[in-house]
Structure 1
Amino acid sequence: MSEVSLNGRCLVTGSAQGELLYADVGLSFWGGVEPFTGEVIDRHHPLSGQFISGRVLAIPSGRGSCTGSSVLLELILNGHAPAALVFERVEDILTLGVLIAEQMFGHSIPVISLGEAGFAALRNTAFVRVEDDRVSGFSSPPPPLLRDQTNQTSHRPLSQISLTETDQGFLDGAYGKAAQVAMGIILRMAELQGATELLDITQAHIDGCIYTGPASLRFARQLVAWGARVRVPTTLNSISVDKRRWRELGVDPALGEPASQLGDAYLEMGARVSFTCAPYLLDSAPELGEQIVWAESNAVVYANSVIGARTLKYPDYLDICIALTGRAPKIGCHLTQQRLATLRIDVPALDGVDDSFYPLFGYHVGLLCGASIPVICGLETKAPTLDDLKAFGAAFATTSAAPMFHITGVTPEATTAELALGGHAPDKTLSVSPADLLHSWRELNSAQTPAVDAVTLGNPHFSLSECATLAHLCSSQRKHENVAIVITCGRATLERAQQAGYVQTLENFGVQFVTDTCWCMLGEPVIPPTARNLMTNSGKYAHYAPGLVGRRVHFASLAECVDSAITGVASGRLPAWLMAAHQAEVSANV
């Protein structure tokens, strides 16, 4: 007899049961779950070290990377997936991974959302059974499901989504098998999201070109075999290796070859050779109000927030489906009303703010937001640069599920807080204290000794202006012989930096440049096998590195990174804007 019985919204049909693994914090599957074992490797998450395989995983939603859908596809096809997924709210990224497994490969797991009260009711449950739109909780293992009840899948008829003649042609196969399957997947997601029609988009940025394992290559090759060709200008995200130099860099062919082949598959579909996680730095960057389809979490947040273009936080694989048709669900941040802030966050008055403030603050604000879009007040006089906003947005996208933010007096849709809120009072107002930021600073600084073995810069990809700033800091100096310093950037940025003379200055300092890939995909030997402590100015990488590469991290400003590259040690100095909080803490403990 079940002790808990709940009704929810069935996102993917099916029946399964297992031990419950519950957390009230969202989880990014990319960088948070190992795709070949099912271990939770996000070392900042309450489930760190647990294995999701065969268990019913209950989390409020995903968060962070758009590549979560790809990781979940790998887990489903290699047998390490959870038995079922239970969410608090409708979740796009992970649900899309299940839909791809179901529609293209014939494998599935049930997915359900329960709402806030229903989700909370599972907190102390030991075992859970999911049957389509019902969840039952038990204190001991329930009787086994009958064989014909396990992981059943059925395709419910689509709700009434208005289709153009061309849309119907895609669905009927008039434009080929790849576009037909793509439109079917788009409509499944549109139904889940509550869209009633589709819209035209002008460009796409594809995140599914990241190699997460055999399933990611299998997916792309199947589309190529079906004759897939993009219908809108399409750029590619960073892939998992430097495509031109992976052998020279010592990358294992077991990764280098399939990762490179995956990039080739998307090029065969007509995508542009871009290979950058910062497409907003390209000459093809969109304009204010332009309807686009971008995946890659930091790129989505930057496009929506800083440029004012319009995109959802598109999951891997849905991005290429939309690029093949040029049509996207008319929902979410494509619509003005759904771009409005519902949460106000007030910033403390801080003196002496440097470039380390923005990634740290983005990391902290993301933790506060969940899926809510915030308007941030108090930075009007700080004049953050585009690089500051890039760093803020990347860290924000790491810890939140929100597709954008507003900063009063800075971002284009927030000339005032009232405008960002659409004239409504916020659902909630939060104030961030210096003590809160000090706590997050310590979270990101996981290294336990002052030694620095490698300085990792360019997550997201370094911009030309960041190259200029770093060249100024490094001029006429030389790094410590035992410290590696590596920058990841796009090919276009590297060319411009060479023309400006920055590359020569930086290489004289001892910098190594890597293109096409990014730190979230890099491991040994680019990271020296003997390295134990890394140093970075990226809030995103400071969060992910302990789980992805098993190293501890020093997080600090770019200037501190240079100093540590020269000395081989981290000073441990707090920035001036955190000193008052530290001194207050010391006084309180005396």
Structure 2
Amino acid sequence: MPSTPTCLQGRSLVEGAAEGTLLFADVGLSFWGGVDPATGEVIDRHHPLSGERMAGRVLAIPSGRGSCTGSSVLMELISNGHAPAALVLAEADEILALGVLVAEVIFQRSLPVLCIGHEAFNRLRGQGFARVEGNRLTLSGRRPNDQWRDTASLPQSSLPSTVRLNERDQALLDGAHGKAAQVAMQIVLRMADIQGATELLDITQAHIDGCIYTGPASLRFAEQLVQWGAKVCVPTTLNSISVDQRRWRELGVDPALGEPALGEPASALGDAYMAMGAQLSFTCAPYLLDTAPKAGEQIVWAESNAVVYANSVLGARTQKYPDFLDICIALCARAPLAGCHLDDQRKAGLIVEVPSLGPVDDSFYPLLGYHVGSLAGRRIPLIRGLENAAPTLDDLKAFGAAFATTSAAPLFHIAGVTPEAIDPEDVLDHDAVLPLEIVNAAGLLASWRELNSARHGHVDVVSLGNPHFSLSEFAALAQLCAGRGKHPDVVLAITCGRAVLEQARLAGHLDAIVAFGATLVTDTCWCMLGEPVIPPAATTLMTNSGKYAHYAPGLVGRGVHFASLGDCVEAACTATASGEPPLWLQPTARKGTARHV
């Protein structure tokens, strides 16, 4: 430990001054699903800070990762007093910075956010105390014995921006279109400055993730916009909300407004966004709707899996937009011209080679996505080795959701598969020498073990539909369930959007599934579901979702078995899981029954 303080310089994303004990990790953290918004405890059981509380400490992480709802969780923590004293990052993180900016506007509370780069960030390991003052970070072994006081930044919406504005932009900023649009444009411009954008672009549609209820602050934000007269300017869909709006009472969700109740405030949050003109869609898979964007279309989507799918599979163009910035842009129909909206920002920054593993089942793609995401970090990968594998859209959905859980990148390319990488040379910068990562069975097995946290073979709940089930997944499940019935002690529940549920009903897929004994839940998703849909006595879940297998231990405190859809149905019938890796991952038995990769 150095005897004299060490001073480092960085870039201030949000101004202010604060100090505290340093809480350091060299792994990115998703605040949604990784941090309890009511207490500030790190609940991501895969993270090195699991169990730590961040209130009053200087949190140092390379960046955020995972969910776009991280901004909402951070705003919640700032409003309830459980936020860190300051954030120190290796890389600029728009999701976390946006949460602080909105807290300034709505609650007049803030915290400093400082980006110092990777080289300086690596010097934080082992340090005991940190002080942030503007763009300066001071490290010492213990709290200095001097006179000093924290100062949070004040709202800076009036600060000059370097972004070029057209006549309508300026009118929005001047308040000619109302208070809500004015505040929205102020926030858009502050984020544009953080991103280094010098102009705005028109967008054609939006998908709002901020309708997820993280606590009273998320509802207050939305209702404040409604009171200010907010109306969206482009077609706008809504992500899953935190309850099945039509059936939450039937499902046993507590209706009261007091803690830990959910029903009424979560439903009211959905209503608030619809009052702004958003469509009643309530799905985390908007790419399954008829309104899905086309290749090259400039859009503003939040929800991490949806962003990754839109960019990678559809070829549309969106940043990984934080909660609250999504609605601000929808109110203006203007977004910063930065990131994946630009051609050169969609190039690969990493090559990932996937060897042939022989026949695989449908657990392969979510597991591979989870593994590749951990290798990629914030870099956009080009994945080679799947040119002849012919992954389905459901495979790509599962891959992308798991990839977005462990990666902060908004986009992946699969050579010969995804539209921009049909010719992989198109996504390569020919002047760059890219790092190479090679996937092998041992690495995939390590990721499989990370996702399988259950300590025994009993199964209480089978969780399907994270992201929301597609029509083709309903068809596959109906075949697996036909003529069978689940174990009476097992809950098998499927989450999906209302539109897809109706399509499945019309196609006749639901008959066998309902006869099997499944529970169908719309509007919400497994990342928001808890008791009593998950019975209080349940100890173990099983899922085919890499995303949910990662988040569930922290979100609902249960162990998880991760496996294929077929294995999930078998477990629903027997109330047991083998606990063994799939055959294609077992070195002595590579006999599968599915596709080759």
TM-score bin, normalised by smaller chain: over 0.9
SS at match of 1:487: strand
Aligned residues: 582
Q: Aligned partners of 2:308, 2:479: CA distance in 1, in Å?
A: 29
Paired position in structure 2 for 1:500: 507
Paired position in structure 2 for 1:510: 517
Match of 2:218 among 213, 216, 219: 216
Quote how far apart the aligned CAs of 1:426 are.
4.1
Paired position in structure 2 for 1:331: 338
SS at match of 1:460: coil
Is 1:407 equivalent to 2:414 in the alignment?
yes
Q: Aligned partners of 2:334, 2:324: CA distance in 1, in Å?
A: 14
Match of 1:162 among 157, 161, 164: 164
Post-superposition Cα deviations, 1:422-461, rounded to whole Å, max 9, x if no partner, equal 3344431110111000111111011110000010000000
Paired position in structure 2 for 1:429: 436
User: Structure 1-normalised TM-score?
Assistant: 0.97
Paired position in structure 2 for 1:7: 9
Quote how far apart the aligned CAs of 1:159 are.
3.6
Deviating more after overlay: 412-421 vs 490-499 = 412-421
Q: Aligned partners of 2:317, 2:418: CA distance in 1, in Å?
A: 14
Q: Aligned partners of 1:529, 1:214: CA distance in 2, in Å?
A: 25
Paired position in structure 2 for 1:387: 394
Quote how far apart the aligned CAs of 1:582 are.
8.3
Paired position in structure 1 for 2:154: 153
SS at match of 1:18: strand
Which structure 2 residue ranges, 5 or more long, are not aligned?
256-260, 591-597
Quote how far apart the aligned CAs of 1:417 are.
2.6
Deviating more after overlay: 66-75 vs 347-356 = 347-356
Q: In 1, are the aligned partners of 2:25 and 2:49 still within 8 Å (CA)?
A: yes
Match of 2:26 among 3, 24, 27: 24
Q: 1:70 to 1:419 in 2, by over 3 A?
A: same
Match of 2:385 among 362, 378, 384: 378
Q: In 2, are the aligned partners of 1:353 and 1:577 still within 8 Å (CA)?
A: yes
Match of 2:43 among 19, 41, 47: 41
Quote how far apart the aligned CAs of 1:243 are.
0.2
SS at match of 2:139: strand
Paired position in structure 2 for 1:128: 130
Letter in 2 for 1:403: P
Paired position in structure 1 for 2:483: 476
Post-superposition Cα deviations, 1:297-334, rounded to whole Å, max 9, x if no partner, equal 00000000000000000000000000000000000000
SS at match of 2:46: coil
Post-superposition Cα deviations, 1:224-271, rounded to whole Å, max 9, x if no partner, equal 000000000000000000000000000011210000000000000000
Q: In 2, are the aligned partners of 1:418 and 1:424 still within 8 Å (CA)?
A: no
Quote how far apart the aligned CAs of 1:124 are.
1.6
Q: 1:215 to 1:97 in 2, by over 3 A?
A: same
Paired position in structure 1 for 2:403: 396
Q: Aligned partners of 1:348, 1:549: CA distance in 2, in Å?
A: 35
Letter in 2 for 1:497: A
Letter in 1 for 2:321: Y
Quote how far apart the aligned CAs of 1:126 are.
0.3
SS at match of 2:465: strand
Q: Aligned partners of 2:426, 2:564: CA distance in 1, in Å?
A: 33
Q: Aligned partners of 2:160, 2:118: CA distance in 1, in Å?
A: 26
Q: Aligned partners of 1:518, 1:543: CA distance in 2, in Å?
A: 15
Paired position in structure 1 for 2:448: 441
Q: Aligned partners of 2:517, 2:146: CA distance in 1, in Å?
A: 61
Paired position in structure 2 for 1:105: 107
Q: In 2, are the aligned partners of 1:438 and 1:581 still within 8 Å (CA)?
A: no
SS at match of 1:136: strand
Is 1:269 equivalent to 2:299 in the alignment?
no
SS at match of 1:459: coil
Q: CA RMSD in A?
A: 1.2
Alignment of 1:69-148 (within 5 A): 69-143=71-145, 146-147=148-149
Quote how far apart the aligned CAs of 1:581 are.
7.5
Quote how far apart the aligned CAs of 1:571 are.
2.1
Q: In 2, are the aligned partners of 1:4 and 1:122 still within 8 Å (CA)?
A: no
Q: Aligned partners of 1:352, 1:144: CA distance in 2, in Å?
A: 65
Letter in 2 for 1:170: L
Q: Aligned partners of 2:558, 2:183: CA distance in 1, in Å?
A: 41
Paired position in structure 2 for 1:309: 316
Match of 2:244 among 239, 242, 245: 242
Letter in 1 for 2:354: V
Post-superposition Cα deviations, 1:508-566, rounded to whole Å, max 9, x if no partner, equal 00111000000000000001111111000000000000000000000000000011111
Letter in 2 for 1:151: A
Q: In 1, are the aligned partners of 2:348 and 2:381 still within 8 Å (CA)?
A: yes
Q: In 1, are the aligned partners of 2:213 and 2:219 still within 8 Å (CA)?
A: yes
Q: In 2, are the aligned partners of 1:461 and 1:518 still within 8 Å (CA)?
A: yes
Paired position in structure 2 for 1:566: 573
Quote how far apart the aligned CAs of 1:419 are.
1.6
Is 1:63 equivalent to 2:65 in the alignment?
yes
Match of 2:181 among 179, 182, 192: 179
Letter in 2 for 1:186: V
SS at match of 1:488: strand
Letter in 1 for 2:231: R
Post-superposition Cα deviations, 1:452-494, rounded to whole Å, max 9, x if no partner, equal 0010000000000000000001100001111110000000010
Q: 1:478 to 1:144 in 2, by over 3 A?
A: farther
Q: In 2, are the aligned partners of 1:13 and 1:154 still within 8 Å (CA)?
A: no
Q: 1:426 to 1:389 in 2, by over 3 A?
A: farther
Deviating more after overlay: 507-516 vs 149-158 = 149-158
Post-superposition Cα deviations, 1:163-222, rounded to whole Å, max 9, x if no partner, equal 000000000000000000000000000000000000000000000000000000000000
Letter in 2 for 1:556: A
Quote how far apart the aligned CAs of 1:144 are.
5.6
Q: Percent identity?
A: 68
Paired position in structure 2 for 1:487: 494
Q: Aligned partners of 1:282, 1:172: CA distance in 2, in Å?
A: 36
Q: Aligned partners of 2:59, 2:342: CA distance in 1, in Å?
A: 32
SS at match of 2:537: coil
SS at match of 1:461: coil
Q: In 2, are the aligned partners of 1:43 and 1:547 still within 8 Å (CA)?
A: yes
Match of 1:280 among 277, 282, 287: 287
Q: In 2, are the aligned partners of 1:438 and 1:582 still within 8 Å (CA)?
A: no
Match of 1:52 among 51, 54, 57: 54
Q: Aligned partners of 1:340, 1:458: CA distance in 2, in Å?
A: 31
SS at match of 1:252: coil
Match of 1:188 among 187, 190, 194: 190
Letter in 1 for 2:71: S
Quote how far apart the aligned CAs of 1:121 are.
1.1
Deviating more after overlay: 242-251 vs 410-419 = 410-419
User: Structure 2-normalised TM-score?
Assistant: 0.96
Match of 2:551 among 529, 544, 550: 544
Letter in 2 for 1:96: L
Q: Aligned partners of 2:433, 2:385: CA distance in 1, in Å?
A: 16
